[in-house]
Amino acid sequence: GGARDSPFRGAEEEERQHSRELRGLSEAKHAKLQQETKERHDGLKEQLDGMRREMESSLGALGQGISAVKEEKGHLGGMEQRLRQEFGAQAQAGRQGTEELKQKVETLQGGFVELRDAVRKSPGKESRH
C-alpha cells in the first residue's frame, strides 16, 4: 500500500477531470451565448436597417411632396405674375384709351369752338346784329 494508492490522489484526479468537464461545458455555454447574442444583434441590425430604409423612403417621398408643393407654388406665383402683368397692361391700355378719348373730345370741343366762332363771324349772321 504505497502513496499511489492514496484515496486523496484518486480524489485529485477526479477533481481535475471534473474541472476539465466544467471548463468544457462553460466554453460550450459561452460559445452558445456568443452565437445567440450575435444572432440577436444581426436580427436587430436587420430591423434597424429596415426601419432606416423605410424612413429614408418616407423622407424621400416627403421631399418629393415638398418639391411638388414648391413647384406648384412657383407655378401659381408665375400665373399670378402673368395675371398682374396682364391686368397692368389692360389698366395701362385703359388709361391710354381714356387719355386718347380726352384728347379727341378736346379736339372736337376745339372744333366746335372754331365752328361757332366762324359762324359768328360769317357775313350772313352779321346782318342780324
Q: 61 and 69 in contact (C-beta within 8 Å)?
A: no
Which phi and psi angles does 2 have, rounded to 5°?
-80, -170
CA neighbor of 68 nearest in space, from 60, 8, 42, 89 = 60
Res 77: pLDDT: 92
The owner of cell 477526479 is 14
Stated as kind and residue range, the H or E segment containing 17 is helix 7-121
Compute the distance between CA of residue 8 and CA of residue 128 in angstroms, rounded to an integer. 171
Res 126: pLDDT: 55
* C-alpha separations of 109 from 48, 49, 62, 103 in Å: 89, 87, 68, 10
* C-alpha separations of 125 from 17, 77, 112, 121 in Å: 156, 68, 17, 7
pLDDT along the chain (129 residues), means of 10: 65 90 91 94 95 94 93 93 93 91 93 92 66
Q: 9 and 3 in contact (C-beta within 8 Å)?
A: yes
Res 127: pLDDT: 54
